[in-house]
């Protein structure tokens, strides 16, 4: 393995374990026996999990893998995903249960019961139908964390339209490329969003993005900040005008188990984002099952909070589909964790008695930086399960989380999965697994994952290599939107002989055979749990008129996991590589992709290190970015390049 992240080396010497308490184990949703059942008859196991859902027509076959790598799960089954997440709970007498405790950043709140959610989703479904949206049509959603975002997603699901949620922080250019790729007919957005106590525009960005966008017929605008926004009388319509006038009655139609549910774009190793496609029955089965066992969720008793944004897969699977299918009561928070103060999350946990909390390592490290005394001021005794997702969690952060948030008692579940896997794949089970700080440990019952070497052979305990998924799973992606070839090439060609799914992550087994994730092995960076490709940032940089060439690396960062460091060669006549030029380039990248892709640092250099075949040697640039002794340069076409770069940097050029 070539690209192991050096900051993670301490993972490999960590050997503490935390066995579950007898008390927790006695009431846990899963037991050790589930692993055996999952292994003994995988399809029977998944058939049992699919029974968590309400099907209009039962499937005739659990898995059809004959068209591999395109899977079909629960073949012949029919269901409505929104009905499963909302209506059936009302029918079962839980209409008065709160589904969503929504907390706005400025302090306003809304509690939404399942009965109200059913009416809201039905009205929104009727609204989309009134605009001519049909099953299979695509609806793009760019919204912050407000209830309408969840309602809009479920309304699409209800009528069989695919949503494509685009993170609110993405630039107009990024939104546009996603709208075009999916040929979205409708875009749903808001006037503006509250961020760090201020109103920031949304609609204005969407207007800029959609200039001349041919597929888009209507833009639906939710009023949130109340600022003035220009409305195109032909194209734009207010959510409150359109949706509130609709009937709260809508009869859900049953769709095929393989009916497409959504597209979600994610960064790949090239500049062009991939539209990951998920379908209905298998996806909903696995998100519901995993939410049940990994978080030990008890409907009607627990209060759950996943801090993700619906712009990412975690928001799709663990705010919308899994939790709602399981009749959750959950907190949804609109804003940033330090507005108006750094105890905001703990205050919310105290107020709502949150019992299950699911967040990302980058935020845990930020909380650590803000200080132990902040959570100590709040009553966090309601917490009983803590989750982590998005990147490897370093043992220090894991221990801090358990001690300072979980009172040294709450099990920490480190959950490994991807946009492509749709749902959690590798994670300890609370009440079952003796947890290890920094390790996701074991594939869930019904799931198989192994670590292999370059040739696809499984490595022995203690060995490292690539993480692969060697057996199909229900919530697996069904392809890349409009690009079957890229789907096969990206995930299935690396270990084609064995038929393994290549995850793109490095991993190792410890002596017990537990899995430790070691970061990406490709050119994808992980910044605060967000996937950003080096190529994407490089193409944004070279699109600036002063830049001749650019190379980007992810350098270890104590808070964000990785930070983006760019090396640029300026064009001959653009001699000034000073502070102002660098700022201009950082802002340019933010404008092209979004603020999350803004490089932490840009170094202006005279040359880039390349192999004889012209491939940039990012390993050497990472050495520079992380202030390390520069490694082996013998494969460089011109070995003096690194001296030139170092000399240039020292003289401040
Ligand atoms: C859910 C999500 C997927 C990539 C994945 C890996 C990294 C996620 C992790 C983890 C180590 C964990 N990743 N969870 N690495 N331990 N618990 O984050 O999806 O945005 O598609 O990112 O994130 O590198 O390949 P996505």
- 232 burial class (0-12, 13-18, 19+ CB within 10 angstroms)? exposed
Give the annotated binding-site residues for Mg(2+).
542, 544, 547
C-alpha 418 to ligand 1 mean position (Å) = 5
pLDDT beyond 80 at 648 = no
Mean pLDDT of 25-43: 98
- Ligand 1 pocket: which residues have CB below 6 Å? 266, 312-314, 389-392, 414-419, 440, 503-505, 517, 520, 526, 529, 531
Mean pLDDT, rounded, for 567-588: 84
* pTM of structure: 0.91
How many angstroms separate the CA atoms of 175 and 182, rounded? 11
CA 576 to chain centre: 39
Rounded to an integer, the average pLDDT of 624-633 is 84
- Pocket probe for ligand 1: among 505, 508, 515, 596, the residue whose CB has the most ligand atoms within 8 Å is 505
Q: What is the arithmetic mean of pLDDT over 516-539?
A: 87
Q: Which residue has a Cα nearest atom 14 of ligand 1?
A: 390
Dist. CA 427 → ligand 1 center (Å): 12
Distance from Cα 389 to the centre of ligand 1, integer Å: 7
- d(C-alpha 627, C-alpha 633), whole Å: 16
Which residues fall in the annotated binding site?
195-198, 314, 338, 390-392, 414-419, 505, 520, 528, 531, 542, 544, 547
Task: Report CA(441)–ligand 1 centroid distance (Å).
Answer: 14
415 C-alpha to center of ligand 1: Å?
8
Which run of H or E residues covers position 236?
strand 236-238
Query: Can you tell me which atom of ligand 1 is nearest the CA of 524?
Result: 24
Strands (E), 398-546: 412-414, 450-452, 464-469, 479-480, 501-509, 515-520, 524-527, 530-533
CA 251 vs CA 12, 84, 211, 332, 349: distances in Å: 54, 13, 36, 27, 36
pLDDT of residue 618: 83
Which of 270-273's residues contact partners 24+ apart within 8 Å by CB, and which partners? 270/533, 270/535, 271/533, 271/535, 271/536, 271/538, 271/539, 272/177, 273/174, 273/177, 273/178, 273/181, 273/536
Q: Of all protein residues, whose CA lies closest to atom 22 belonging to ligand 1? A: 418
**Which atom of ligand 1 lies at the shortest distance from residue 529's CA?**
18
Distance from C-alpha of 403 to C-alpha of 57, rounded to nearest angstrom: 48
**Percent over 90 (pLDDT), the chain:** 81
CA distances 394 to 364, 439, 628, Å, are 10, 9, 21
CB 280 within 8 A of CB 81: yes
- Residue 5, pLDDT > 50, answer no
Residue nearest to atom 16 of ligand 1 (CA): 392
d(CA 326, CA 286): 12
- Looking up tokens 């940039």 gives 616
Judged against a pLDDT cut of 50, whether residue 533 lies above it is answered with yes
For residue 2, give the 3-state DSSP assignment. Answer: coil
Question: Which range, of 423-427, 474-478, 517-521, averages the lowest pLDDT?
Answer: 517-521
As a whole number, the mean pLDDT across the chain is 93
Q: Which residues make up each annotated binding site for ATP?
A: 390-392, 414-419, 505, 520, 531
The pLDDT of residue 614 is above 70:
no
The Cα–Cα gap between 490 and 427 comes to 25
Compute the distance from residue 113 Cα to the ligand 1 centre, in Å. 32
Q: Over the range 193-217, which residues count as b (16 or more CB within 10 Å of their CB) and which as e?
A: bbbeeebbbbbbbbbebbeebebbe
Contact 259, 514 (CB under 8 A): no
Direct distance between the N- and C-terminal alpha carbons of the chain, in angstroms, rounded to an integer: 34
**What pLDDT, on the 0 to 100 scale, is given for residue 6?**
37
The angle subtended at Cα 147 by Cα 278 and Cα 95, nearest 5°, is: 90
Query: What sign results for the dihedral spanned by CA atoms 62, 287, 264, 504?
Result: negative
Hey, whose CA ends up nearest to atom 1 of ligand 1? 418
Q: Is 276 within 8 Å of 268 (Cβ atoms)?
A: no
Instruction: Say if CB 210 and CB 178 are below 8 A apart.
Output: no
């Amino acid at each position: 393995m070539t690209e192991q992240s050096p900051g993670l080396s301490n993972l490999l010497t960590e050997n503490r374990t935390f066995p579950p308490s007898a008390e927790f184990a006695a009431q846990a949703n899963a037991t050790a026996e589930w692993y055996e059942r999952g292994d003994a008859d995988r399809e029977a196991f998944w058939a049992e999990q699919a029974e968590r859902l309400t099907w209009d027509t039962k499937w005739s076959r659990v898995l059809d893998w004959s068209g591999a790598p395109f899977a079909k799960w629960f073949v012949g089954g029919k269901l409505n995903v929104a009905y499963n997440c909302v209506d059936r709970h009302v029918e079962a007498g839980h209409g008065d249960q709160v589904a969503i405790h929504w907390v706005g950043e400025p302090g306003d709140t809304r509690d939404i019961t399942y009965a109200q959610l059913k009416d809201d989703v039905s009205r929104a479904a009727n609204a989309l139908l009134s605009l001519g949206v049909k099953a299979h049509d695509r609806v793009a959603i760019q919204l912050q964390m407000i209830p309408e975002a969840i309602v809009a997603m479920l309304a699409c699901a209800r009528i069989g339209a695919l949503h494509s949620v685009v993170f609110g922080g993405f630039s107009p250019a990024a939104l546009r490329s996603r709208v075009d790729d999916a040929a979205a007919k409708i875009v749903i957005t808001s006037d503006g969003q509250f961020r760090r106590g201020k109103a920031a525009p949304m609609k204005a960005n969407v207007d800029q993005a959609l200039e001349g966008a041919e597929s888009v017929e209507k833009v639906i605008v939710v009023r949130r900040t109340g600022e003035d926004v220009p409305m195109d009388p032909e194209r734009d319509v207010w959510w409150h005008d359109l949706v509130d006038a609709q009937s709260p009655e809508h009869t859900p139609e049953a769709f095929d188990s393989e009916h497409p549910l959504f597209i979600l774009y994610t960064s790949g190793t090239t500049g062009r984002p991939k539209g990951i496609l998920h379908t209905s029955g298998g996806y909903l089965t696995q998100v519901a099952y995993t939410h049940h066992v990994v978080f030990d969720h008890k409907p009607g008793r627990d209060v759950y909070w996943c801090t993700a944004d619906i712009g990412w897969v975690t928001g799709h699977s663990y705010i919308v589909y899994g939790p709602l299918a399981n009749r959750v009561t959950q907190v949804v928070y609109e804003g940033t964790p330090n507005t108006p103060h750094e105890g905001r999350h703990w205050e919310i946990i105290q107020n709502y008695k949150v019992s299950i909390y699911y967040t990302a390592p980058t935020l845990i490290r930020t909380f650590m930086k803000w200080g132990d005394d902040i959570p100590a001021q709040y009553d966090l005794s309601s917490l009983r399960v803590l989750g982590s997702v998005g990147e490897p969690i370093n043992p220090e952060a894991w221990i801090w989380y358990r001690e300072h948030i979980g009172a040294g008692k709450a099990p920490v579940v480190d959950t490994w999965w991807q946009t492509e896997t749709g749902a959690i794949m590798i994670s300890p089970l609370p009440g079952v697994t003796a947890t290890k700080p920094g390790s996701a440990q074991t594939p869930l019952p019904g799931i198989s994952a192994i670590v292999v070497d370059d040739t696809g052979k499984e490595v022995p305990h203690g060995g490292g290599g690539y993480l692969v998924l060697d057996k199909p799973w229900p919530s697996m992606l069904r392809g890349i939107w409009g690009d079957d070839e890229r789907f096969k090439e990206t995930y299935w060609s690396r270990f084609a002989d064995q038929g393994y799914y290549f995850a793109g992550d490095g991993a190792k087994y410890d002596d017990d055979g537990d899995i430790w994730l070691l970061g990406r092995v490709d050119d994808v960076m992980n910044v605060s749990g967000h996937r950003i490709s080096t190529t994407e940032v490089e193409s944004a940089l070279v699109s600036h008129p002063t830049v001749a060439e650019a190379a980007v690396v992810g350098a270890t960062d104590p808070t964000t996991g990785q930070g983006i460091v760019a090396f640029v060669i300026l064009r001959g006549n653009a001699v000034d590589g000073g502070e102002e030029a660098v700022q201009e380039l950082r802002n340019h990248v933010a404008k092209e992709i979004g603020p999350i892709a803004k490089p932490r640092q840009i170094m202006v250099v005279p040359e880039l290190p390349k192999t004889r075949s012209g491939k940039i040697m990012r390993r050497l640039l990472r050495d520079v970015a992380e202030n390390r002794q520069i490694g082996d340069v013998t494969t460089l076409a011109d070995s003096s390049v690194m001296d030139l770069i170092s000399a240039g940097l020292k003289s401040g050029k």
